[in-house]
Structure 1
Amino acid sequence: MLRMIFIQLWNERKTNVLIYLELAIVSVFLWYAADALLVNYKSYSRPLGFDISHVYYVELATVPQNSADYDTSAVHNQCGGADFLTLRDRLAHHPKVEDVCFTSHVHFHYRFNNRFASFRQDSLIRNGYVRYVDPSYFRVFKVKAADGGPSDKLEQALRKNEVVITSTVADYFFGNASKAQNREIQITDQGAQDSVFYRIGAVSEPQRYSEFHEYSCAYYKPIGPDEAFRQSSVQVVNGLRLFIRVKPDADNGYFVADFTREMSQQLRLGNIYLKEVVPMSYYRDEMLRSWVDNIRMYFSGILFFLLNVFLGIIGTFWFRTQQRSAEIGLRMALGASRRNIFCHLFAEGFVLLGVAFVPAVFIFANLMYLEVTEQSEMQIPMLGRLLCGMGTTLGMIGTMVAVGIGFPAYRAMRLQPADTLHDE
């Protein structure tokens, strides 16, 4: 039967060439989209290194000096750091708040606020980030130690004025996290002229900016609160970011409105006031919007090409069924069952798909080799990626071929031999 199908397809090659080209071209485009979705899914599913669930950004602002509400008393005007710490303590004692932390303005998850740094160890050099954080940052964002343990070690390191590096730094310069513990590393912060040797007090789990970013090199330094911090002017608030982790049972759709109304007076101290409370999920959605749009575009492309395959297949086989009605009737008259006719038409479609899919495999393999496809720093085996894309593409396009052939094949199966031979 298979040999007869190949002979028939060859004899009808002029009428099959268009559907053959369509299947080959669509297979390549579907494969490309499926491969891109696979890479994005692999990236999305990896651990972030932090957790923003139930975390809110509490934005504080300062009263302008030209405002009638500006407090000119020295205790508030010249000790803005102390006022800020007082507000942090008030938040920490709120019954709905689980933890509070603050960071410098150059570290804010899901916003590209960075201060860069260069890591050096012997002849090895790697660029990354420096992040100034309050030790409780690790509790608020639930950052774990490299061994998966709680954040206690990370907090203790910062409280001892040591630095915390991410596992990415530890793996690159020392081989693993355990070997990096209590070692020294040379770091040059952005804008600094000289490098400084820092003692590594702890190693955190690897971190990345978002679900679609790679793991990055970074280290954490403690920020305040020393006496100089307390005596700083009220403008210090503009360089700090305050975050709270809300207790899960208190986090609901009314939390922001209720919390803002309740805390507006308590969070007004001197020239500092509460501006707004924003869930971290808002910043996440804003950053990921472009990636989500790309994924939607890939899905739209897949649906578009599958629809084209469906219409092309159903049109071609409908026409062929009409043209070959006499042949089908003759086969039935000679003893072919209706089921055999149905299976024969299905086999024709899938043989045609198989023949068209062969060049698609070579084309896509070359696209991967030339790195034209979606790129990622993840170590995804090329063969596994190729086979996964092949299986997904064959599954999608095969389904459309089956659906497209189904109705013409069913119609051919219901033909009456006497009627078709009489018409002939």
Structure 2
Amino acid sequence: MLRMIFIQLWNERKTNMLIYLELVIVSVFLWYAADALFVNYKSYSRPVGFDISHVYYVELATVPQGSADYDTTAAHNQFGAADFLTLRDRLAHHPKVEDVCFTSNIHFHYRFNNRFASFKQDSLVRNGYVRFVDPSYFRVFRVKTADGGPSEKLEQALREKQVVVTATVADDFFGNASKAQNQEIQVTDQGDRDSVFYRIGAVSEPQRYSEFHEYSYAYYKPVGTDEDFHNSSVQAVNGMRLFIRVKPDADNSRFAAGFTREMSQQLRLGNIYLKEIIPMSYYRDEMLRSWTDDIRVYFSGIIFFLLNVFLGIIGTFWLRTQQRSAEIGLRMAMGASRRGIFRHLLAEGFVLLGVAFIPAAIVFANLMHLEVTEQSEMLIPVADRLLCGMGMTLGLIGIMVAVGIGFPACRAMRLQPADMLHDE
């Protein structure tokens, strides 16, 4: 049967050429869009290394020195950073708050606030980030150890004045997390000329900047002690970022507004006041907006191509089936079953698709080799991309071919052989 189909397609090559070219072109474009969606999905689906669910940014502000409300007493001016710790404790004792932490302003998830660092060992050098955090940061953002354990080890390392490195650093420089434990690593922070050797107290799970970024080389240092804050002026608060994790049963769409009204007075101390409470999901949505817009474009492109394929195939095969009505009638008159003829017509369409898919695959493989296709910071095996793109493209176009052939073929099957052969 397959040999007969190839012979028939070759004999009718002039009439099949238009739909053949359409299948080749649309297959390439559809494969390109399917590959882009697959790459973005693989990047998005990997763990980011932290959890922002039920986490809010508590934005504090300070009264300007020239303001009439500015408190000039030493307790709230020269040593006003201590008020920040008092406000932190007030938040920690709120019945709706589960955990509280703070970081320096150079570490804020889903915002491009960073201080860079270079990790070195012999000739191996990697660039990454340094992040100043309160030990409670790991608990608030649900950061686990490299082996999936709870955050207590990470917190303890910072309290003991050691550093925490991500698993990406541990794997690259020491082979794995267990070998990196208690080792020293050479780091040069941004703006510093000299490198410093730090002892690794713990290793966190791999982390990345967002769902569409590669895993980062990063290490965590203590943001400061309580004594440092007691000896600092109120201006130090401007460099701090305060976060709370809300209890799940207390979190809802009205929480931020209600909590702001409730805590405005309690979070007003000295020259520090509460400005706003913002869910971390807001910053996540803002950062991912450009990626989600691209994904919408790819989806729109796929729908457009599928619509063109459907209209082109159904129009071409409708005309093709009409022109072959006498052939269909003759086969039915010679004893061929309607189901057998229907299967034969579908087989012709799928064989034509298979023949058209070969040059499409060659074109797409060359596009991938030339790096014209979607690029990603994540390392995704080429075989996975090819197989997934091929499967999605063949599946979607196959459905369109089946629908485009099946509808006019079903109409032709309902006619009587005598009516089909009347014109002949």
The CA distance in 2 between the partners of 1:6 and 1:150, in whole Å, is: 63
Distance 2:417 2:85 in 1: 91
Q: Distance in 1 between matches of 2:251 and 2:392?
A: 40
Matched, 1:166 2:166: yes
Aligned to 1:55: 55
Of the structure 1 ranges 360-369 and 342-351, higher mean CA displacement relative to structure 2 is found in 360-369
The AA in structure 2 aligned to 1:158 is: L
Q: Secondary structure at the match of 2:219?
A: strand
Which has the higher mean CA deviation after the structures are superposed, 23-32 or 88-97? 23-32
Q: Which residue of 2 aligns with 1:422?
A: 422
Q: Which residue of 1 aligns with 2:247?
A: 247
CA displacement 1:92-144 (0-9 Å, x = unmatched) = 01011011000000000000100000111111111000000001100000111
Superposed, 1:343-382 pairs within 5 Å as 343-382=343-382
**1:68, CA displacement in angstroms?**
2.1
**CA–CA separation in structure 1 for the residues paired with 2:330 and 2:200:** 85
1:4 offset after TM fit, Å? 2.5
Tell me the equivalent position of 1:145.
Answer: 145
Contact in 2 for aligned 1:342/1:412 (Cα 8 Å): no
Q: Using the TM superposition, give the Cα deviation of residue 326 of structure 1 relative to its aligned residue in structure 2, in angstroms.
A: 1.9
2: CA distance, partners of 1:411 / 1:228: 84
SS class of match (2:421) = helix
2:272 corresponds to: 272
Q: Does the 8 A contact of 1:341 with 1:412 survive in 2?
A: no
Aligned partner of 2:384 in structure 1 is 384
Which sections of structure 1, spanning at least 5 residues, go unmatched? none
Read off the aligned partner of 1:281 and give its amino acid letter. Answer: S
Q: Which residue of 2 aligns with 1:121?
A: 121
CA-to-aligned-CA distance 1:314-347 (integer Å, 9 cap, x gap): 0001111222222222222222222222122111
CA contact (8 A) 1:84 1:237 kept: yes
Secondary structure in 1 aligned to 2:269? coil
- Unaligned stretches of 5+ residues in structure 2: none
SS in structure 2 opposite 1:380? coil
Secondary structure in structure 1 of the residue aligned to 2:201: strand
CA RMSD in angstroms comes to 1.3
Instruction: Tell me if 1:96 matches 2:96.
Output: yes
Please report how far the alpha carbon of residue 384 of structure 1 lies from its aligned counterpart in structure 2 after TM superposition: 3.1
Matched residues in 2 for 1:240 and 1:384: separation? 44
Q: Distance in 2 between matches of 1:8 and 1:145?
A: 64
Distance 1:200 1:183 in 2: 6
- Aligned mates of 2:228, 2:322 — CA distance in 1: 89
Deviates more, 1:275-284 or 1:220-229: 220-229
Letter in 2 for 1:260: T
Q: CA deviation at 1:217?
A: 0.3
Residue identity opposite 2:341 in structure 1: I
Q: Between 245-254 and 374-383, report the one with greater CA deviation.
A: 374-383
On the 8 A contact 2:131/2:220 being kept in 1, the answer is: yes
Which residue matches 2:294?
294
Residue 5, structure 1, aligned to residue 9, structure 2: no
Please give the alpha-carbon distance, in whole angstroms, between the structure 2 residues aligned to 1:108 and 1:377: 21
Deviations 1:50-82 (A, max 9, x none): 100110000001112222222222211111210
Q: How does 1:168-247 map to 2 (within 5 A)?
A: 168-247=168-247
In structure 1, what is the equivalent of residue 407 of structure 2? 407
Residues 353-396 of structure 1, C-alpha deviations (whole Å, 9 max, x = no match): 01101111222222223332222344433223312221121111
State the match for 2:27 in structure 1. 27
The answer to whether structure 1 residue 341 and structure 2 residue 346 are counterparts is no
Question: For structure 1, which segment, 280-289 or 361-370, has the greater mean C-alpha deviation from structure 2 after superposition?
Answer: 361-370
**Residues in 2 aligned to 1:229 and 1:264: alpha-carbon distance in whole angstroms:** 22
Whichever residue aligns with residue 362 of structure 1, its letter is I
1:167-201: per-residue Cα shift (whole Å, max 9, x none)?
Answer: 11111111111111111111111001111111111
User: What secondary structure does 1:112 align onto?
Assistant: coil
Identical positions, percent = 85
Contact preservation (8 Å) 1:163, 1:220: yes
Q: Is the 8 A contact 2:213 2:378 kept in 1?
A: no
Separation in structure 2 between the aligned mates of residue 59 and residue 178 of structure 1, nearest angstrom: 38
| SS of aligned partner of 1:178 | helix
| CA–CA separation in structure 1 for the residues paired with 2:77 and 2:26 | 67
User: Which whole-Å CA distance do the structure 2 matches of 1:157 and 1:56 have between them?
Assistant: 25
> Aligned partners of 2:420, 2:98: CA distance in 1, in Å?
80
**2:388, 2:27 → 1: CA distance?**
14
- Cα contact 2:213–2:377 (8 A) shared by 1: no
Q: Normalising to structure 1: TM-score of the pair? A: 0.97
* One-letter amino acid of the counterpart of residue 148, structure 1: G
Q: Distance in 1 between matches of 2:419 and 2:148?
A: 76
The correspondence of residues 37-116 of structure 1 with structure 2, limited to 5 A, is 37-116=37-116
Cα deviation 1:276-299 (Å, max 9, x = unaligned): 000001111111111111111111
